[in-house]
Structure 1
Amino acid sequence: MQLGVVLWSILASVSNAGRRLRLAGMLLLPGLVVADNSPPLRVMTDFWPPFRIAGEGGQLRGLDMDLLAELERRTGLRFDVQRAPWSRGLAALKRGSADLMTGLARTPERERYIDFLERPYFTCAPRFYSLPALAHKVSGYSQLGQYDIGFVRGSAYFEPFDSDQDLRKVGVGNEGQLLDMLRYKRLPLVIGTDCQVDYELLRDPTLAGRIVKLAYRPPARTELFLGFTRQRPLQAQRQAIAQALEQMIDEGWVLDAARRYSPRAQ
């Protein structure tokens, strides 16, 4: 089974000649020359499997960690990854006490303090989840107002949901809490991102068939970006990372790395 409902349209191939030219240009970037003498870029993140998974000893692993390691190899830059609740990481980026975050959904409000790379590296979709008895009773957005809906504080899903003040939203700290509250019937509905929630449902056989998608499917998709703080001058590092990441997408590196985290492959 594929990893969620993932849209791979961003992974279009380019010619070998074009890739060689971009790589040659990347090697000449000033940021690469000074990388060894510069402090590491501070990356704030939180658990969000399969992108950021809790490993042994509290170490993070997952697609985003692999991506950062490959960016280190290709650019010569270094990253200091620190975990905090997602909303706290966004606040650090806004203040300038963090340099970078991965897995960011792009919104007009966030663009005021985050300098997003132009190209997303992954695409998912927002979906609502419930227990089976309710799944087919909610077939349109207008019906959501009848229920309490769990969501992760600081997350961006889709409009009009994000700004809808009439909905009965219940904020929690992370997606794991959402699924637990749904499983134990403390919430009737939750919203999540399919490539993350579907991973959890496939990985845990006790949830198979117990938590399902609503019939209503939002007409939206969630593109994931890397983004830098606007509070610090990081243009050389940004350019190096942008060029390396674009090459990784075009080569199919991101797609291949994502396949390693399919529950069927683990």
Structure 2
Amino acid sequence: MKKLIALLLLCLAFQPALASARELVFAYNLFEPWKRLDAHGQPAGPYTEIVRALAGRLKLPLRFLQCPLPRCLSAMRQGRADLMIGVRPTPERLAYLDFLEPPFASSNHLVFYQRRGDPRALARYDDLLPLTVGVAEGVSYEAGFDRDLRIRRDASPGMESGFRKLAAGRVDALIVNASQGAALAARPEFAGRVTRAPLTLDDRHPNRLALARRSPLRADKARIEQALRGMMADGSVARILAAAGR
């Protein structure tokens, strides 16, 4: 009996250490320039740095699970990943994602690209209706656009492949976050072949980090939100975003 009690006490004593050793798994889909790979193939960009700083405050080792957006969402649904950043809440996602407070940023400036030399005007929303618009698979944009069944969409695994389709004439236009679009359009592969159209859309939803509802860390949601509030209050998030021109 004494040996059993001693063993139980030993197990209890090790519980905090085991909990503190739990890693934070970051479901990481590329979203330039906010989530990208540097010259050494390592995760970089302001959204990446926000999560790195948060993991540091929580004293949790950070592991990147690199995946296309649909696969990242699947990992979150299954509880194989803990955290995502840069995804919008939708009714479907709310079933398996818990969006954290406070928001770390607000508004999403959406722009459209066409092939250079395309004579078709793209200055008004209705100008989209005769066109096939390239989108990224699994991405939500602006509520009205997302619900508009008149829009013909062509989905690509990511915006890089979307730009390739646009340059090759396989889609007529492309909707993209303004900063991401500018970064991709400036690449030698696309420079001179695509041009930004006058039409823009603004989606002023608040940007929040998402915690998987099936994550073992969901029990620590209050502590995670407290750390995030601290980063907002002391200007850490603002400095990271300002350095990237957000």
Higher mean C-alpha displacement, 208-217 vs 94-103: 208-217
8 Å contact 1:126–1:221 — kept in the other structure?
A: no
Cα displacement string for residues 103-151 of structure 1 (whole angstroms, at most 9, x for unaligned residues):
1122232112110012322332222221344587123323312011111
Q: Assess, with a 3 A threshold, how the Cα gap between structure 1 residues 79 and 173 changes in structure 2: closer, same or farther.
A: same
CA distance in 2, matches of 1:99, 1:255: 23
The one-letter code of the counterpart of 1:43 is: F
Pick one of 68, 76, 100 that aligns with 2:59: 76
Q: Assess, with a 3 A threshold, how the Cα gap between structure 1 residues 34 and 241 changes in structure 2: closer, same or farther.
A: farther
CA distance in 2, matches of 1:204, 1:252: 32
Report the equivalent of 2:183: 199
Q: Which has the higher contact order (CA 8 A, sep 6+)?
A: 1
Q: Assess, with a 3 A threshold, how the Cα gap between structure 1 residues 223 and 198 changes in structure 2: closer, same or farther.
A: farther
The alpha carbon displacement at 1:209 in A equals 6.2
Q: What is the TM-score when the length of structure 1 is the normalising length?
A: 0.75
CA distance in 2, matches of 1:252, 1:217: 30
Report the equivalent of 2:160: 176
Q: What is the TM-score when the length of structure 2 is the normalising length?
A: 0.80
Pick one of 224, 233, 237 that aligns with 1:241: 224
Pick one of 31, 39, 42 that aligns with 1:59: 42
The alpha carbon displacement at 1:219 in A equals 4.3
Report the equivalent of 2:171: 187
After superposition, residues 89-128 of structure 1 pair within 5 angstroms as: 89-123=72-106, 124-128=108-112
The one-letter code of the counterpart of 1:115 is: D
CA distance in 1, matches of 2:179, 2:104: 13
Report the equivalent of 1:164: 148
Q: Report percent identity of matched pairs.
A: 26
Q: Assess, with a 3 A threshold, how the Cα gap between structure 1 residues 113 and 36 changes in structure 2: closer, same or farther.
A: closer
Pick one of 50, 54, 64 that aligns with 2:33: 50
Structure 1 stretches lacking a partner, 5+ long: 1-32
Cα displacement string for residues 204-247 of structure 1 (whole angstroms, at most 9, x for unaligned residues):
36755653332222242354321011124534432222222223
CA distance in 2, matches of 1:210, 1:253: 38
Q: Assess, with a 3 A threshold, how the Cα gap between structure 1 residues 136 and 43 changes in structure 2: closer, same or farther.
A: same
Cα displacement string for residues 62-105 of structure 1 (whole angstroms, at most 9, x for unaligned residues):
11221122112222122211101111101111122221111112
Report the equivalent of 2:5: none
CA distance in 2, matches of 1:220, 1:142: 18
Q: Assess, with a 3 A threshold, how the Cα gap between structure 1 residues 65 and 217 changes in structure 2: closer, same or farther.
A: closer
Q: Assess, with a 3 A threshold, how the Cα gap between structure 1 residues 221 and 208 changes in structure 2: closer, same or farther.
A: farther
Q: Assess, with a 3 A threshold, how the Cα gap between structure 1 residues 48 and 121 changes in structure 2: closer, same or farther.
A: same
8 Å contact 2:65–2:81 — kept in the other structure?
A: no
SS in 1 for 2:146: coil
Q: Assess, with a 3 A threshold, how the Cα gap between structure 1 residues 257 and 143 changes in structure 2: closer, same or farther.
A: same
